[in-house]
Amino acid sequence: MKLLLVEDEPNVAGLINKGLTELGHDVSVAPDGLLGLELASNHEFDVLIIDIMLPGINGMELCRQLRSNKKLTPILFLTALGTTENIVAGLNAGGDDYLVKPFKFLELEARIKSLYRRKQQPAEADDDTIHLGNIAVSLKRKIVMHGAEQITLTATEFRLFEYLLNNKNRVVSRVEILEHVWGIDFNLGTNVVDVYVNYLRKKIEKNTDTKIIHTVVGMGYMLKK
């Protein structure tokens, strides 16, 4: 893969660059947000790995500018700020996934591969629409409507919601969700599923008193209405 790493800590950047290069990837490194924006805007990469706390412009603003310019390259945020609020802010800025520092290199590699595989997947051939009460989901157009109001989801949130819809009234485990939504077939001890489910709930259940995404303690999640 051709990767862009935007990281201002030399030791961290050096370790990531060395590890990914040894795996055969072509890695470009930018030490600040402005150079990262220039490289990402003018060159093609398979995945962007962006630290949030950067000099020049921070990672979230970098992401916003890329998305506003229709640059759809998958973005993995690296952050030392692991609170749900900070993670949600990164996703709202247009990020596809996140990894909290310190992290295991194995997990970084798995997340990058997952983003790359998802980028290669062909678009849906048919505009099948799934209905759940007043909620309509267009699979081809990647649009979710609650009545006449559109619910804005990130790409990862949409994949998660689509997977839950396709398994409606069935309990799906966190490992199943990791495998089908993130392409990771083992549990790395991450809480990424819980964070995304909680944020998806806030968007999907915002204008309804009915609980749609249910937690089944010790087992996983189930979508039903």
Instruction: Write out the DSSP string of 13-70.
Output: HHHHHHHHHHTT-EEEEESSHHHHHHHHHHS--SEEEEESS-SSS-HHHHHHHHHHTT
Q: Give the model confidence (pLDDT) of 160-218 as tens digits.
A: 999 998 899 999 999 899 888 887 766 666 788 888 999 899 888 887 777 889 999 98
Give the model's confidence band at 29: pLDDT under 50 very low, under 70 low, under 90 confident, else very high: very high
What CATH number matches the domain at 129-223, 2.70.98.10, 1.10.10.10, 2.30.60.10, 3.30.70.1050? 1.10.10.10
CB 181 within 8 A of CB 159: yes
Q: Spell out a b/e string for 134-147, using b for 16 or more CB atoms within 10 Å of the CB, else e.
A: ebebebeeeebebe
pTM higher than the cut 0.75: no
In this structure, which topology does domain 2-120 adopt according to CATH? Answer: Rossmann fold (3.40.50)
Averaged pLDDT, 62-69: 91
CB 152 within 8 A of CB 135: no
Interatomic CA distance for residues 43 and 62, integer angstroms: 15
Domain with CATH 3.40.50.2300 in the chain: 2-120
Domain with CATH 1.10.10.10 in the chain: 129-223
**DSSP-based three-state secondary structure for 171:** coil
Helix H or strand E encompassing 200: helix 192-204
